[in-house]
Structure 1
């Protein structure tokens, strides 16, 4: 197997899958050294941060050994150990989803408040364009997930708080990686894509009206709904 570029940038879960498959199918045999972070970044078409994140995860899975100053090497494969590590990682990923949703609740309700108070017309145009994309892409889970994140990031920009925007940028890769599969699953629930679009429209309308209280409430309702659906609960 030859490594092929990952189509989405900043998706470390997909980078993990590419490298893991290359290891398991023998392209990188036990004891061999992986290409450098820069080389993997160029080959896979992702940022170096995504590659580092993936290597850290592969290390947890006992698939690679990272030797300071010497490089990253494929570990000797122990099937039972790998299976146990993968099971642990899947449990951690599920915990990550809910922890990250709690973090988003804290960050994004505050971002909505300040966006409602400080937004410019240009921010409204950006948000409206994204919602139009959501409407056009109903039924396309991948595009819906991408537009969803773009909308939330646009709110952070509209808050005019550079630290809030930086915080969103810092956690974006972790959030996207942990939530990608779950978010795509959400869009496969009948009618869910339309419900999510309506929730984003409610957030947008409150920000447009400069109603910070309603904007915070709309964001809170949206994130609680997402959390409930991911847990298999009823719509809030």
Structure 2
């Protein structure tokens, strides 16, 4: 995956801080992938504050603290009741956000979301969690409302923690990974079709499904969330 390869090249020092990265065209030729794939990878790296894009100058690797970067991928475990409370809030917020995204999304927004949904097919847990979060955040960006983005930013850490914890439970259920990916595909399809009601409905169906699937027998829960007598 291009995103992972570029991120690894930055983190392992192949592209140290201050380095001017090759152009999108050059990366495309070097990696034998389309330029849109490279742009999506660079957008993700920019969101992580690993690179900065300077108009008229190019793209440069930023200085970063490895310990702080590692912390950004470590989330405080959330209890099942906390996850369900957050899901209640997300159903209120994200159905409306999906409706706005369907009305306002740009072709670039759509391209980013498609690339992210493609990443969900990976078997690498960390990449899957990042893609799941990125997809929902990209929908908020596509809604084109600064207050929506600000609101999502305020609960970003909780959302990431809930995604990490809930995936431990959900992905133990046979076939659930593909069901969840397909739900994201349906949300994406409605947004692509500018179907506002369909996007809101698909988002609500997805979050309601996750909420229901978390009501599973305790043996499916991660060990730290089981009762002492389990």
The TM-score by the shorter chain falls in which range?
0.5 to 0.7
Query: Aligned residue for 1:209?
Result: 193
CA distance in 2, matches of 1:112, 1:149: 14
The structure 2 residue matched to 1:104, chosen from 90, 95, 109, is 90
1:28-177 matches, within 5 Å, as 44-46=67-69, 93-135=79-121, 137=122, 139-177=123-161
- Structure 1: runs of 5 or more not aligned: 1-41, 55-89
User: How far did residue 47 of structure 1 move?
Assistant: 8.6
User: How far did residue 148 of structure 1 move?
Assistant: 0.7
CA contact (8 A) 1:142 1:184 kept: no
Shift in alpha-carbon separation, 1:228–1:179, aligned structure 2, 3 A? same
CA distance in 1, matches of 2:87, 2:213: 12
CA distance in 2, matches of 1:167, 1:153: 11
Shift in alpha-carbon separation, 1:49–1:121, aligned structure 2, 3 A? closer
User: How far did residue 49 of structure 1 move?
Assistant: 9.4
CA distance in 2, matches of 1:196, 1:202: 10
Post-superposition Cα deviations, 1:81-123, rounded to whole Å, max 9, x if no partner, equal xxxxxxxxx8x82221111001111111011000000000000
CA contact (8 A) 2:91 2:204 kept: yes
Shift in alpha-carbon separation, 1:50–1:222, aligned structure 2, 3 A? closer
User: How far did residue 144 of structure 1 move?
Assistant: 1.6
Shift in alpha-carbon separation, 1:160–1:178, aligned structure 2, 3 A? same
CA contact (8 A) 1:141 1:184 kept: no
Post-superposition Cα deviations, 1:23-75, rounded to whole Å, max 9, x if no partner, equal xxxxxxxxxxxxxxxxxxx6742499999x97xxxxxxxxxxxxxxxxxxxxx
The structure 2 residue matched to 1:224, chosen from 197, 208, 229, is 208
Shift in alpha-carbon separation, 1:231–1:45, aligned structure 2, 3 A? same
User: How far did residue 189 of structure 1 move?
Assistant: 1.9
Is 92-101 or 220-229 further displaced after alignment? 92-101
Moved over 4 A (4+): 46-51
CA distance in 1, matches of 2:172, 2:190: 28
Shift in alpha-carbon separation, 1:43–1:211, aligned structure 2, 3 A? closer
With the length of structure 2 as denominator, give the TM-score of the two structures. Answer: 0.60
Query: Aligned residue for 1:187?
Result: 171
